[in-house]
Amino acid sequence: MPSTSEKRKADHLSLCATNEVAFKNKTTLFEQMELLPRALPDLAMQDVDTSTSIAGKPLGAPLWISAMTGGSSESVAINKELAAMAQELEIGFCLGSMRPMLSDSARATDFQVRDVAPDALVMGNIGATEIARTGPEPVLEALKKIGADGIGVHLNPMMELIQPGGDTDFTGVIDAIAALVQAAGDDLTVFVKETGCGLSWRDGENLKKAGVRVVEVAGAGGTSWVGVEALRSEGAAERIGKIMWDWGIPTAVSTAWMADQGFTVISSGGIRSGLDMARAVAMGAGLTGVAAPLIQAREKGGVKLVREYLDDLIFGLKVTMVGCGAADLAALSSVPRVLGPDLSRWIETGWQGR
């Protein structure tokens, strides 16, 4: 008999294997960011340099596979496949929530991917409310066991409120994050992420005070995790979850805010093309992340289609870079751009939250 958390993880995988859990009416707003094309780029495709680094690890492209799974039998196979691909493509890989490991250390083998990804950037993952309960030590021990380079702490209050049996008390979370950052020291990177509702200006200020230097925005416009939990709920939670489906800050906006506050930013939530990646880098992101499309590609065509999806992202980024005459990511970050009215309005009015 699978445990409740195994059942939840299995539900997440099957719901995300379809596109039924995408945002309905809200987008990332990256479509309102035009990068200025150049007809005379004076560049050869083969000379375009997409390399970067994060947490001391070199990456061939500004991309990681965002946190997805762990803790169900299917997730062990998925994590190995994706981590092996990250190793091959020189991109990063994040495990899904390591919560099962905290209550049963024998579950460490479920999260072990170093055999297939010895050098890749590998990050662990845990919920913020979980570290508020356990404190930093069990988390750091779990990371050592699997040889991860760091950990993403996920914030997901709206998702939890709709999730059957989810958390309803979010007090003490920022102190728990500060304690984790301090306990991790310089050895492990602690980054903080949302799961599809984005990080606000005020969130950024609080995270900075807590010592966080890296954030993954996981904004609105891609997978709606409120939507996922609405589909798993009954009664009032289902009804309210359907109303709150599109809750969140568009990814382009959250990326702009976090970059402006000086974070190393991973832009994610609805990144679906190399053009999106280029726009995110131009908006100030150091890296981009993608999640649900990889589960959908795997469902349709196994590892071959997952590989094709990732290859297309990287190829699309290079095509865009040549198109706007950017030889490397530094040049891409300062490419002239035109912002549409909703994106400009969001960026400007959001700063009133200072």
Q: How far is the CB of 171 from ligand FMN (least distance, A)?
A: 20
The residue (of 138 and 152) whose beta carbon lies closer to ligand FMN is 152
Select the residue whose beta carbon is closest to ligand FMN and give its number: 222
DSSP state of 249: -
Could you count the other beta carbons within 10 Å of the beta carbon of residue 40? 6
Nearer to ligand FMN, 222 or 286 (CB): 222
CB of 289 to ligand FMN, least distance (A): 7
Q: Kindly state the smallest distance separating residue 23's Cβ from ligand FMN, in Å.
A: 9
Q: Using the minimum distance from each CB to ligand FMN, give the nearer residue, 228 or 324.
A: 228
CB of 125 to ligand FMN, least distance (A): 5
Say how far apart CA 331 and CA 241 lie, in whole Å: 42
* Chain position carrying tokens 């997409």: 50
Closer to ligand FMN at the Cβ: 125 or 200? 125
Q: Which residues bind ligand FMN (CB under 6 A)?
A: 12-13, 16, 66-69, 96-97, 125, 152, 154, 193, 195-196, 218, 222-223, 268-271, 290-292, 295
CB count, 10 Å around CB of 187? 10
In whole angstroms, how close is the CB of 322 to ligand FMN at the nearest point? 25
- DSSP string across 147-205: T-SEEEEE--HHHHHHSTT-----TTHHHHHHHHHHHHTTTSEEEEE-SSS---HHHHH
Minimum distance from residue 294 beta carbon to ligand FMN (Å): 8
C-beta of 7 vs 354, nearer to ligand FMN: 7
C-beta of 309 vs 324, nearer to ligand FMN: 309
Q: Any idea what the Cα angle at residue 225 is, between residues 224 and 228, rounded to 5°?
A: 95
How many CB atoms lie under 10 A from the CB of residue 112? 16
